[in-house]
Structure 1
Amino acid sequence: MLACDGALWFQLGRCRSVKEFEKLNRIGEGTYGIVYRARDTLTDETVALKKVRMDNEKDGMPISSLREITLLLQLRHPNIVELKEVVVGNHLESIFLVMGYCEQDLASLLENMQTPFSEAQVKCIILQVLKGLQYLHENYIIHRDLKVSNLLMTDKGCVKIADFGLARTYGMPPKPMTPKVVTLWYRAPELLLGMTTQTTSIDMCHCCRRSPAPCLPCLRSLPAPHAPNPSLPTPQGFSKLPLASQYTLRKQPYNNLKHKFPWLSEAGLRLLNFLFMYDPKKRAGTESQAKRSKP
């Protein structure tokens, strides 16, 4: 069973055959594999069966899939998609991830729904996403590709963060990582400007996007990213970013978000400001101080 690849063997044990699953229909295709709705013939449970893409791989399983499997095996949270097991086909390059099944993703749901979500529904969805992110960040994991197509929803309204092909663990001090991650329209300003060290802040920026247009404008190709949103004050350390010298920002002494989003309530504006200004170091310090102050 070499298909389980190296150290994963000790975590997974014996891999079942994909023949024990009945493929019902194809439900999607992403960068890292094709996804099917399937039935486990042993338990009669409906699952999502994700075939790992092995294009031009000569040295075993792709590193992105290994990272995804390793991370998901450690994660158990109501708002994180569940990896149940890894199964194999007749060939070493035929590997499938058995995931918990969700009826739809938010991207297709937003495109096809006749009426928009109510304010209460939006709050419920955002709260679930933030709870899932909090769990990831408390376990020193950054997702790095958060977007509506990677947010799944069950028929009972439970939102789950999925697709961990770009996810990485991080530590302090942060180690260099490639800035060319995250779908371009969701990419944080510091990534567009070439920052190589990444923290949980880049995930929080993705929460600021509203469909159909992003809050933070950026061009469709690098290395010519758009300047960060001029509604925001210039952040500390901006001048040290590798590509910052290529731009001259317009002076903006005040926050302009209220004018850009006049339909937002005061609570919505407070949340949006928090997401833009999110600082994991300050957050950690605030939480530590709060714990010390408890009787």
Structure 2
Amino acid sequence: MAEAACPEQEPEVLRLKRLRGGGFFPVPPGDRLGRCRSVKEFEKLNRIGEGTYGIVYRARDTQTDEIVALKKVRMDKEKDGIPISSLREITLLLKLRHPNIVELKEVVVGNHLESIFLVMGYCEQDLASLLENMQTPFSEAQVKCIILQVLKGLQYLHENFIIHRDLKVSNLLMTDKGCVKIADFGLARAHGVPLKPMTPKVVTLWYRAPELLLGTTTQTTGIDMWAVGCILAELLAHKPLLPGSSEIHQIDLIVQLLGTPNENIWPGFSKLPLVSQYTLRKQPYNNLKHKFPWLSEAGLRLLNFLFMYDPKKSSYFKEKPLPCEPELMPTFPHHRNKRAAPASAGAEGQGKRGKP
């Protein structure tokens, strides 16, 4: 059933400040949208998610009949225009074109300055909703299919000097044809040489790399690879790998799983800003093999590489069961289309599987 559209009021008089001579000048109604289409050209069908940066609707483009995802930019606390997170997301996504990256088709506007929408390619599923609603867990072949696509998308991002910085299952979308796409670029950043300082308060806690937890300000592609390791382990185990309740708890879970870090295995560890604030338990063993006793040596090697700072290639994807093809992935009921609660996890929601 289509969601009732809010009646649009008549646009207020839009005036811009003159750069010279002082005063203001009115913008004619025909010019106020610039080159952007109006959101009135889209029929909102239902809400599919609400996250940190905006509400997401499933909608129909009335000009082409195409089903799209319509993401309303959240402007609640903004007094000076579009939020910087949305500007970054728009700027990055307009440059990115890859089968495993969500597509930003265009930006459309409503009658008011604060009414801005991103028109995205529509995906029927997000992995968080799937994992919570699936009757049967993904097979290992299907897990390989998913992670291989995530790694291809990440390879494209990293080759273009972009770090996603918020990878988690709820930010991975999947079409009914089995194509997995990385979404939600509100925290993504371009990086280069030399590395510039960035805030460590990124990446949902359960997927946050230890260097972030220990206060590093120079971030590399390694933080994305750590998050992929957490996602791979979650898909294999059918539950989150490191569900910490706080940053201290998160670090302790990592130490329990992988052993206590030191300068020998992690050069520069002792100089990280927050190391002196923690008393880490003495745990000399890597327990991944005990956590996944049924996983092959190649699979364990891949997990270990993902939980390092320089992940290397692995043979895991070349042994049986081989990754299935995307078109052979199963289809599922469209749980997202049934969700009406404003706080429900959607394309960028934070449900049971992650904490900010």
Relative to the length of structure 2, the TM-score reads 0.72
CA distance in structure 1 between the aligned counterparts of 2:36 and 2:173, rounded to whole angstroms = 26
Report SS of the residue matched to 1:203: helix
The residue correspondences of 1:6-45 to structure 2 (distance < 5 A) are 14-45=35-66
CA distance in structure 1 between the aligned counterparts of 2:34 and 2:299, rounded to whole angstroms = 47
Q: Structure 1 residue 186: deviation in Å?
A: 1.2
Q: Is 104-113 or 261-270 further displaced after alignment? A: 261-270
Residue of structure 1 aligned with 2:223, choices 202, 205, 211:
202
Q: Work out whether 1:176 is the aligned partner of 2:197.
A: yes
For 1:274, the equivalent position in structure 2 comes to: 305
For 1:67, the equivalent position in structure 2 comes to: 88
CA distance in structure 2 between the aligned counterparts of 1:156 and 1:18, rounded to whole angstroms = 28
For 1:88, the equivalent position in structure 2 comes to: 109
Taking a change above 3 Å as real, the CA distance of residues 111 and 225 of structure 1, as seen in their structure-2 partners, is closer
Q: Structure 1 residue 178: deviation in Å?
A: 0.5
Q: Structure 1 residue 279: deviation in Å?
A: 1.8
Residue of structure 2 aligned with 1:112, choices 133, 145, 151:
133
In structure 1, stretches of 5+ residues that fail to align are: 3-11, 284-295
Q: Structure 1 residue 219: deviation in Å?
A: 3.7
CA distance in structure 2 between the aligned counterparts of 1:65 and 1:78, rounded to whole angstroms = 22
**Residues 40-73 of structure 1, C-alpha deviation per residue, up to 9 Å, x if partnerless?**
1111111000000001211000000000000000
Q: Structure 1 residue 224: deviation in Å?
A: 7.5
For 1:289, the equivalent position in structure 2 comes to: none
CA RMSD in angstroms comes to: 2.1
Q: Work out whether 1:145 is the aligned partner of 2:176.
A: no
CA distance in structure 2 between the aligned counterparts of 1:119 and 1:215, rounded to whole angstroms = 16
CA distance in structure 2 between the aligned counterparts of 1:183 and 1:123, rounded to whole angstroms = 23
For 1:292, the equivalent position in structure 2 comes to: none
Aligned residues: 271
Q: Work out whether 1:240 is the aligned partner of 2:261.
A: no
C-alpha contact 1:143 1:167 (8 A) present in aligned 2: yes
Q: Structure 1 residue 177: deviation in Å?
A: 0.5
Taking a change above 3 Å as real, the CA distance of residues 244 and 45 of structure 1, as seen in their structure-2 partners, is same
User: Where do 4+ consecutive residues of structure 1 move more than 6 Å?
Assistant: none
Q: Work out whether 1:97 is the aligned partner of 2:110.
A: no
Report SS of the residue matched to 1:57: coil
Residue of structure 2 aligned with 1:55, choices 56, 76, 94:
76
Residue of structure 1 aligned with 2:98, choices 77, 81, 87:
77
C-alpha contact 1:106 1:151 (8 A) present in aligned 2: yes
In structure 2, stretches of 5+ residues that fail to align are: 1-13, 15-32, 314-356
For 1:6, the equivalent position in structure 2 comes to: none
CA distance in structure 2 between the aligned counterparts of 1:252 and 1:225, rounded to whole angstroms = 15
C-alpha contact 2:106 2:118 (8 A) present in aligned 1: yes
Q: Which has the higher contact order (CA 8 A, sep 6+)?
A: 2
CA distance in structure 2 between the aligned counterparts of 1:263 and 1:145, rounded to whole angstroms = 29
Taking a change above 3 Å as real, the CA distance of residues 184 and 173 of structure 1, as seen in their structure-2 partners, is same
CA distance in structure 2 between the aligned counterparts of 1:60 and 1:223, rounded to whole angstroms = 37
Relative to the length of structure 1, the TM-score reads 0.86
CA distance in structure 2 between the aligned counterparts of 1:224 and 1:127, rounded to whole angstroms = 30
Q: Structure 1 residue 252: deviation in Å?
A: 4.7
CA distance in structure 1 between the aligned counterparts of 2:142 and 2:213, rounded to whole angstroms = 32
Taking a change above 3 Å as real, the CA distance of residues 201 and 273 of structure 1, as seen in their structure-2 partners, is same
For 2:148, the equivalent position in structure 1 comes to: 127
Q: Work out whether 1:162 is the aligned partner of 2:183.
A: yes
C-alpha contact 1:195 1:242 (8 A) present in aligned 2: yes
Bigger radius of gyration? 2
Report SS of the residue matched to 1:25: strand
CA distance in structure 1 between the aligned counterparts of 2:158 and 2:84, rounded to whole angstroms = 22
